[in-house]
Chain A
Amino acid sequence: MNSLYSELQWLLPVPKDFSDRLKALDNSSGPLGSELRALAQYGLSLNQLTKLAKAIARAKSDGKSLDPLVPFRLAVLSNSTIDLMVPALVASAARRGIALEVIQPSYDQVAQEALTPDSKVNSSRPDAVLFALDYRALPLKLSLGDSEGSAATVEGVIGYLQALRDGIKKHSNAVCIFQSFAPPVETLFGSLDRALPGSTRSLIDGINRELAELVLRSGDVLLDVAGLAETVGLANWHDTQLWNLAKFSFSDELIPLYCDHVARVVAALRGKSGKVLVLDLDNTVWGGIIGDDGLEGIKIAQGDAIGEAHLAVQRMALDLRRRGIVLAVSSKNTDEVARAPFEQHPEMLLKLDHIAVFQANWNDKATNIQAIAEELSLGLDSIVFLDDNPVERGLVRKLLPQVAVPELPEDPSAYARTLAAGGYFEAVTLAAEDLKRASFYQDNAKRASLQRQAGGVDAYLASLEMTITFQPFDGKGRARIVQLINKSNQYNLTTRRYTEPEILELECDPTVFTLQVRLADIFGDNGMISVVICRPAGNEKWEIDTWLMSCRVLGRKVEHMVLRKIVEHAHAAGVHKLIGTYRPTERNKLVVDHYAKLGFNKVREEESGLTEWELLIEGTTDWEGVPMEVVSTGFAIGAEAPVS
């Protein structure tokens, strides 16, 4: 048997003090979730999984909290003996951050449980029902060489599964998890069985295909047991003695693997899957050390066995990115040395464009991974860290236990396979947004890192290639204007709230000057980000009644551009003076100096903290250059002339 799979070798070997640590839990009172999860991170055997599950059961019966494990109720319907599996499921779920409760009805009561409204399963209101059926549960009538008969058999089986599903949906509305079927090893003709309609093998092929379609159509979930059995080999999967002795539908040695796969699906249903792959570079993404071996010395070429092993890692990373997994780099290197292969090596599949966050420096990797998580605004528990170096892996596991760190073998040939075997990125559906996610996070990270790198704020702002768009209030913007006026608290000078009819009134009043402001940059459209209302205050004065801005665009000099626009229109309207007011609230400290920074003079201050400011329109034409393209639309003709 391939020990990668039967011994879960992407996990650490079980430490000697495993049992002692389990026992210590009995004397601990605090929430046990984190330590239980830590104890589940090893390649536990069936006996060890059973012990861990017992410790969890003891903690529960003592009324101890399992936080931060997330509760999940799973009913298991099966035609085989699952008693030994139940504790293994509970322990494997803890590995993925789930506090699993298993509802287990009597042996082989699948249809009764699914179809009876008040059955044990239906009345226990599970979150999901796992149909842990194997081929022996199906009415497989051989109809050798008979296509029609064979199609009817497949249809009958799918109809049966569909009826089970409908029963569960109707009576408890749980998510249904179906298993594909692992065919038996034995053939009748030999190779012909695969081709011949009505043979066991071709019937099961047909059932698996139809079941996959059913699941895609219905929004249920598939657990690909057939794929799992193929991976380890059918002869390893099926144990005839154990079936005869105790009705085990597959080998006891594969229970840990199977249970880990169930736990992955359950965790994915709770949104607990990896979203980011953080890659080490030297001896992970390429063979050798770029700092020592140089561009010519590192191994990534086709035709070189070591090079191909690392190319396989790159290919997998690239494919993962294609399905929405964000890629990042954490390498102990000088930044430009680490970037050189991405920019210059012709055999590199990964390019800098694919990497959302590139951390090459001499900090420890835990610090770097934390920085990556922050830059992407994603939790540490969504990060998977791939590194050939056991010391780095150990450090990250110790300092950041939420990060998933696959154990890697010595030989890089198995890196990509080991990463895939770990199932860190399990998903139960594919949404269109998933495919775009990698580039979305990448855009956000780019903004943040540009800010740090660019020499000075203005260079950064220039690199954003912003376009600011000014319009007066109009019907299309009204809903968002009302929303901003009623929701903005921080960057809001007066915090005056207006209803939609009031905004409509302002829109139609020719004496009132209004602005809705939008901002786009190289990363995308930020939408409407600022709103201004100026009212005539007699004597060639405008009073700035409302000025607010979304905090998303803070520090972009948007307010300077807005003032420039107000002045331009005030000038055209023959206004000589702007009056601004700051009305303090509990939330708008941020803008206490707003008018001072824009060159207004303070003319009045109240005890409440309210301040009043003035700006003379004449003499404010000396604008500091702000690198932003300006678009103005919808203003009355004559007011479009730019301020010179």
Chain B
Amino acid sequence: MDESDIYARLTEIFEDVFDDDSITATPALSAKDVDGWDSLTHIRLILTVEKAFKVKFSTSEIGKMETVGDLVTLIKARV
């Protein structure tokens, strides 16, 4: 799976989690850019990503994640 596939899949996941199909997953996208991306929705996002890509992040990785780019780096390292 190359990076563009990951971003495409993430865009679908964002649609699902935020119930908003206007969001596109880009490397710089972060919580402050998206309405409703609070700490709990962040957890829901991470859980959905873990399920979709069949990966599991560590507690410290989840804590350090700030942008979608960080998330993609972690996914790439595992799939």
Instruction: Please list the residues of chain A having a beta carbon within 8 angstroms of any beta carbon in chain B.
Output: 46-48, 50-51, 54, 81, 83-84, 241-242, 244-246, 248, 252-253
Assembly CA distance A253 to B50 (angstroms): 11
B22 an interface residue at 8 Å Cβ cutoff?
Answer: no
Minimal Cβ-Cβ distance residue in B for A81? B40
B55 an interface residue at 8 Å Cβ cutoff?
Answer: no
Minimal Cβ-Cβ distance residue in A for B44? A84
Q: Are A47 and B59 in contact (CB under 8 A)?
A: no
Assembly CA distance A48 to B17 (angstroms): 8
B43 an interface residue at 8 Å Cβ cutoff?
Answer: yes
Cβ-closest 9 pairs across A and B:
A47-B16, A51-B19, A252-B47, A246-B43, A83-B40, A54-B19, A241-B59, A47-B17, A84-B40
CB of B44 to closest CB in A, whole Å: 6
Assembly CA distance A246 to B62 (angstroms): 11
Knowing A50-B19, A54-B19 are in contact, say whether A84-B43 is a contact too (CB < 8 A). yes
B26 an interface residue at 8 Å Cβ cutoff?
Answer: no
Minimal Cβ-Cβ distance residue in A for B63? A245
For B5-24 the 0/1 string (1 means CB < 8 A from A) is 00000000000110100000
> Could you list 18 A-B pairs, sorted by A, with CB under 8 Å?
A46-B44, A46-B47, A47-B17, A47-B48, A50-B19, A51-B19, A81-B40, A83-B40, A84-B43, A84-B44, A242-B43, A244-B59, A245-B59, A245-B62, A248-B43, A252-B43, A252-B44, A253-B51
Chain A residues in 8 Å Cβ range of B47 = 46, 252
Assembly CA distance A237 to B51 (angstroms): 16
CB of B28 to closest CB in A, whole Å: 24
Assembly CA distance A244 to B63 (angstroms): 11
Assembly CA distance A558 to B44 (angstroms): 70
Q: Are A47 and B44 in contact (CB under 8 A)?
A: yes
Assembly CA distance A46 to B19 (angstroms): 12
Cβ 8 A contact of B40, one of A47, A54, A246, A253 = A246
CB of A61 to closest CB in B, whole Å: 15
Assembly CA distance A335 to B77 (angstroms): 65
Assembly CA distance A237 to B62 (angstroms): 21
Chain A residues in 8 Å Cβ range of B44 = 46-47, 50, 84, 252
Minimal Cβ-Cβ distance residue in A for B19? A51
Minimal Cβ-Cβ distance residue in B for A48? B16
Assembly CA distance A54 to B17 (angstroms): 12
With a 10 A CB-CB cut-off, give which of B17, B47, B48 has the most chain A CB atoms.
B47
Chain A residues in 8 Å Cβ range of B19 = 50-51, 54
Chain B residues in 8 Å Cβ range of A50 = 19, 44
CB of B53 to closest CB in A, whole Å: 15
Chain A residues in 8 Å Cβ range of B39 = 246
CB of B62 to closest CB in A, whole Å: 6
CB of A315 to closest CB in B, whole Å: 37
CB of A82 to closest CB in B, whole Å: 10
Minimal Cβ-Cβ distance residue in A for B15? A19
Minimal Cβ-Cβ distance residue in A for B50? A252
CB of B60 to closest CB in A, whole Å: 11
Chain B residues in 8 Å Cβ range of A248 = 43
Assembly CA distance A585 to B20 (angstroms): 65
CB of A587 to closest CB in B, whole Å: 56
CB of A86 to closest CB in B, whole Å: 11
Chain A residues in 8 Å Cβ range of B40 = 81, 83-84, 246
CB of B59 to closest CB in A, whole Å: 6
Minimal Cβ-Cβ distance residue in A for B13? A47
Minimal Cβ-Cβ distance residue in B for A240? B59
Chain B residues in 8 Å Cβ range of A244 = 59
- Other CB < 8 Å A-B pairs besides A84-B44, A246-B40, 14 of them? A46-B44, A46-B47, A47-B17, A47-B48, A48-B16, A50-B19, A54-B19, A84-B40, A241-B59, A245-B62, A246-B43, A252-B43, A252-B44, A253-B51
CB of A641 to closest CB in B, whole Å: 85
Chain B residues in 8 Å Cβ range of A246 = 39-40, 43
Minimal Cβ-Cβ distance residue in B for A46? B44
CB of A567 to closest CB in B, whole Å: 79
Chain B residues in 8 Å Cβ range of A83 = 40
Chain B residues in 8 Å Cβ range of A48 = 16
Chain A residues in 8 Å Cβ range of B17 = 47
Chain A residues in 8 Å Cβ range of B62 = 245
With a 10 A CB-CB cut-off, give which of B44, B51, B59 has the most chain A CB atoms.
B44
CB of A15 to closest CB in B, whole Å: 15
Minimal Cβ-Cβ distance residue in B for A83? B40
Assembly CA distance A121 to B66 (angstroms): 37
Q: Which of B33-73 contact A (CB under 8 A)?
A: 39-40, 43-44, 47-48, 51, 59, 62
Assembly CA distance A245 to B57 (angstroms): 12
CB of A50 to closest CB in B, whole Å: 7
With a 10 A CB-CB cut-off, give which of A48, A54, A245 has the most chain B CB atoms.
A245
Chain A residues in 8 Å Cβ range of B48 = 47
CB of B43 to closest CB in A, whole Å: 5
Chain A residues in 8 Å Cβ range of B51 = 253
Assembly CA distance A603 to B43 (angstroms): 89
Minimal Cβ-Cβ distance residue in A for B58? A241
Assembly CA distance A54 to B19 (angstroms): 9
Chain A residues in 8 Å Cβ range of B16 = 47-48, 51
Assembly CA distance A244 to B59 (angstroms): 8
Minimal Cβ-Cβ distance residue in A for B48? A47
Assembly CA distance A242 to B17 (angstroms): 18
Assembly CA distance A46 to B59 (angstroms): 21
Assembly CA distance A248 to B44 (angstroms): 12
CB of B46 to closest CB in A, whole Å: 9
Minimal Cβ-Cβ distance residue in B for A242? B43
Minimal Cβ-Cβ distance residue in A for B62? A245
CB of B39 to closest CB in A, whole Å: 8
Chain B residues in 8 Å Cβ range of A253 = 51
CB of A467 to closest CB in B, whole Å: 67
